[in-house]
């Protein structure tokens, strides 16, 4: 006789500032193998709650009051390596899509998705699948193809390309307006280490200061 209990449910957390949306999503994903374990109406609330809840799947809207969903992903992804973060938004912007995936999201879904499709996407994300609808997947593939052909606006900056992977993470967050303390928290490193990285970035780019380095990065993004 097997002593194993029932399989553990997929635990989902939702971040959305609209109560009606949260209610609709909660109803859509309710299933014997999936449960909503937490909800937050702001990114700031999610920053406090998600590390405690540690959901299997985190659904995040982009358009949130205060800190937006993309910045939330950048801050939470390094802290929650076991959580699959999926954007659930009305935005069909290719820029938002690419930035979300670059920031650590494991999927990008639009809110016109059918309830059954959302449930399947949540299950798939938990299994490690990329949760992206067909239309957004086409945008993502086109962006990757254009990038492989050197189609990024302004071309590749060799000095930016010389930055280490960690320095790329730091300058990306710097370009988004984060302080050294914010960057340290997002990357789980010390503010002094951030200062060291910023100094190295400025030196490698030949920039006069961090603002100039950030502008240069944004021009190539």
pLDDT per residue as tens digits for the range 177-203: 888 888 888 888 888 999 999 999 999
Q: Are strands 84-89 and 57-60 parallel, antiparallel or unpaired?
A: parallel
- pTM for this one? 0.64
Using the 8-state DSSP alphabet, how is residue 28 labeled?
Answer: H
pLDDT, position 44:
95
pLDDT, tens digit (0-9, with 9 covering 90-100), for 85-139 = 999 999 888 788 888 888 889 899 999 999 999 999 999 999 988 888 777 776 6
Numbered ranges of CATH 1.10.10.10 in the chain: 158-220
CATH 3.40.50.2300 domain extents, the chain: 10-147
> Residue 86's beta-bridge partner residues?
59, 107
| Cα separation values, 216 from 52, 53, 94, 171, 174, Å | 37, 38, 21, 10, 11
Q: pLDDT value at position 146?
A: 55
- Quickly name the fold that domain 10-147 has: Rossmann fold (3.40.50)
Q: How far apart are CA 35 and CA 13, in angstroms?
A: 9
Cβ atoms 30, 122 nearer than 8 A: no
Fold of the domain built from segment(s) 158-220: Arc Repressor Mutant, subunit A (1.10.10)
């Amino acid at each position: 006789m097997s002593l194993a209990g029932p399989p553990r449910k997929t635990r989902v957390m939702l971040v959305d500032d609209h109560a009606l949306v949260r209610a609709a999503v909660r109803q859509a994903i309710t299933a014997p193998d999936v449960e909503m374990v937490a909800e937050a109406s702001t990114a700031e609330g999610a920053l406090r709650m998600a590390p405690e809840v540690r959901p299997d799947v985190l659904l995040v809207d982009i358009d949130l009051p205060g800190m937006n969903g993309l910045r939330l992903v950048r801050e939470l992804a390094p802290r929650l390596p076991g959580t699959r973060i999926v954007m659930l938004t009305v935005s069909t912007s290719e820029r938002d899509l690419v930035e979300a995936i670059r920031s650590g999201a494991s999927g990008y879904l639009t809110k016109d998705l059918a309830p059954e499709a959302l449930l399947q996407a949540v299950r798939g994300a938990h299994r490690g699948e990329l949760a992206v609808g067909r239309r957004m997947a086409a945008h993502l593939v086109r962006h990757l193809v254009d990038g492989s052909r050197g189609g990024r606006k302004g071309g590749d900056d060799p000095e930016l390309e010389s930055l280490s992977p960690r320095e790329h993470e730091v300058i990306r967050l710097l370009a988004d307006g984060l302080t050294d303390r914010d960057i340290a928290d997002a990357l789980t490193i010390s503010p002094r280490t951030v200062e060291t990285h910023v100094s190295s970035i400025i030196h490698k780019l030949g920039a006069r200061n961090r603002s100039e380095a950030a502008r240069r990065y944004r021009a190539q993004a």
